[in-house]
Structure 1
Amino acid sequence: MFMERINLLRDRNGLLIKILWIIYIIDLVFYFSLDPIKTFIWPSIGLIIAISLVIILKSKAPPVFTMYATILGLYIFFFSLNYFFPYFINYIFIFLGIILTSLYQNALAIVFSGGLATSLLIYFYTENQELYAETMSEIDLIYYVLFGLFTVIFLLFYSNYVNKLWVQAYKRENEAKEALFLSQEYLQSIIQHTQDAVVVIDKDERVLTANQAFERIFGIPIEKNLGEKLDILPKRIVPLAKKQLQKVLQGERLIAIETKCLRSDGEEITVEMTLSPIYNKEQSIDAIFVIVRDITQKKETERLLLESEKLKLAGEIAAGIAHEVRNPLTVISGFLQMIDRDPQKIKQYSSIMLGEIKRVNEIINEFLLLAKPKPQNFLVCDLTDVVQDVLLLFESECNLKSIVLNTKLSSKPTILKCEPNHLKQVFINLLKNAIEAMPKGGTLTIQTDQTDKNTATVSISDTGVGIPSANMQLIGQPFFTTKDSGTGLGLMITEKIIKDHQGNVEIKSIENIGTEVIIQLPLKK
């Protein structure tokens, strides 16, 4: 706070000295142009005072000393004017000293100025009483002094009030400048030290500024390209980039757009771009702030991870197939050996071997459907019709196993663009699972509904044995099954078919309470 007052006082000293120079020059011009009596004495005194005050100001003397020296120099100048030219107007000019001193907003300075002004008024009235007798009397002198006193009192209160405002304003200005400086420094530091490329372009796509990361990623020296357009996009992407740029110029912000860019050596890299508009004080867009992140290495890592996952899955499936196929082959091999010992029992054992061969065939067919599905022929269908076709296949089985079939099908059209045979396979798999989960009977509920204008939902729930919480994480993994005759591929195929239809599958289950499978599919737009 103390330094703020000192700096403020120093600024006011400089301002008042500038005002004195202006007053001196204007007075000098009028004097040499209009006054018939010419002398160089008071102009020389005024020039000496003005130059001396400038020297004191530049010498970095204490601001308080400079303040009193400036006030004293002002009254010395007024004294010389009245001494050499005792005009009544120069007498009145003495009051100007009090008014000019109020610029300091300092009580001591105003009192000091008021004392000097009163002393000069009394001195010149006494010395030039005969000259002023025609225009003023003794009582006028008293009122002149009283006017000066009132002026001092008013300026004391006024300066006290304004000085507080001025100090507060000065403090806030310095705080704002400091905050702005720190903000600019922080922003500049962040921009220069970030690993992402940052570039600012104008509305005509010319470069205004960029950071070092931009030069490092693209190999383009920015200093040589300021004011130029950057050619960093492959030609096939330019039309789309123009459209996106127009969106930003209309005020839209585009975040993490994945695209391709070219380095200066022609190498193509994968990047994420974020584009934000920059507004001026009139709230119109002047430029575009662009952040570019090189994700080439990240995409390559993701690709390698995906390949690794594919290899892992292929290994798991191969191990599962080997295990699942080995069991039937072991049975077939054993019965062949038994037939070799006793050929008379070939008819007795052939049916068992055919059953095992059929099981191997089912495993291979399901694996082929999962690994290399048939070409899909998407048609426009009503979901309710597809579900009803499947329900016809299970009505008799449900009756035989004491299962109550409860259907709640939507009365609204639920039109999908789908492969109906694949969807039927999904519902057959899920209904078979539900029926097998209720060996002692129960309730099987199938419900279709239109969740919103874009989504259809199918819910299949049972009151069966449920799925233990320990097994919930394993559901959908290849060859995981709790059935004696299951392959463990049914749910994988179901999830793949639903995913191919841009839908999703959710399974909820409570052990000994039941299971619910919820399928969501997009409606045809």
Structure 2
Amino acid sequence: MNVQRIYSKNVLLIRILWGCFILCMLVQILKHKDPTFISILFGSGILVCGTISIFIFKKLFIEQTMYLCVLGMSFVTFVLIDNEPVISNFYLIFLVIFILSLYHDYRPVFLMSILSIFIGAHFYKYGDRLNYTYHNGDFFYFLFTLSVTFLVAFLQIRYSRSVERDDNAKKEEVRKDNEQQILALINSMPDLIYIQDGTGRFIEMNQYAKALFKLENIDYRNKHLDELFSQNEWFRNFQNCFSDDDISWEKGIAYRFELDLAIENQFSATFDIIKVPTFFADGSRKNLLVIGRDITEQKKAYDLVLRSEKLAVVGELAAGVAHEIRNPLTSIKGFMQLANQEREFNPNHVQIMLSEISRIESIVSEYLSLAKPNRNSLKSLQNIDTLVRNVITLFESQTNLKNINIHSELDCSYQIMCNPNEIKQVFINIFQNAIEAIGSNGDIYIYLRNVPESGVEIIFIDNGCGIKKERLKKIGEPFYSTKEKGTGLGLLTSNRIIEKHYGTIKIKSEVKKGTEVTVFLPTS
């Protein structure tokens, strides 16, 4: 019998035992006035029931405690029969059946039968203690009845165990079938999958994992990392796969991260890793399920989409930038022609020309930073107001041509850790959408707002055509766009950039009234 089941039966039996003991005490108090006898009975009962209770609830010697419970019931039975000897035959047989129904085990039933024989022999030996005329054959009749009861109990237990074995065999067969199906499923998946127990020993891994780790011909089950590292030098290259295990256990929930693997010239990939810890009922560690998907090609595709979106924005900005550069060039050309005629440079004219050249340099620098191929440049501490101003510079000519006024409140300066080129691309996407929504003759408002102890919000508001509610729900999905020639990748790219910076983008819009886009970026 399962130890846990025996424990639960013991708990039930000790409760019954305490109830019987309390019943005995009440009967003794009502029938006998001898305080000495009552005190002895009370002390003995407390000692017996208390000792068994300690063993049960402290889970000490669970199987052995089962026999203590049977002995305790025999003690209570003896006291009850001592009060009412006439019930001995019925009560002793009933007790065997009761123990049978409770434990379904030969051992306690056999013990209870032997104790019943001795208790019955004691009372039948002294016939004058029974309230009826004692006959010589009564004790043998009792033994016969008890033997039949024991035989029935034996057959019933045997039958129950046979049925239980059949059920267990069927359950085991179903379990094995399920395990085979699950193994076939995970082995067919093109993902890294393995399971470790609470101590870090490997339980199972799929074919992809064994091929990646080169463990096909090595028995990895029930082995720790150090044992496998000593057996397989190639496996040592993947030590960083297991570096975040403690974080997963501490969090207690699924933990997700990206992992770059580069092993000389033999292997290079990026994995999206998910580690899922499971626990026993008492909170101790059970298993750690790890799933890793190779997203190298997806990352490359994403980088291509990001670059394509940049180039698309660059193309749209080209006309405005060219116009913006042409204006200062016209001024410089005019002053140069004037100086050529007069054979001298006017200091004021020189100052104006230098100012115009600086403006050209600023515009070209911003334009080139946007047009550069996307690289995983490191994050650095940046003034968010400076980034917004740089983007405004790029769009000034375009907004002037369309008679769109830009109103900005950038008096406050907030620093954030970010990739400046990526953040500027997000702002450019939002700006471009606002200009296209307005068309001409409109306003764009830009505000910076501090979120205490959290970050900063950059708010873009336009009074353009707005977006319908049903379309607003789909904004950000790939290849869904409200523009006739749009790809729908602009906001998707922006969302991913902001998510990578642990921020958020929220959009509110109303048809014929305009759109409000709020970008939140954490300051730490």
What is the TM-score with the length of structure 1 in the denominator?
Answer: 0.40
What is the TM-score with the length of structure 2 in the denominator?
Answer: 0.41
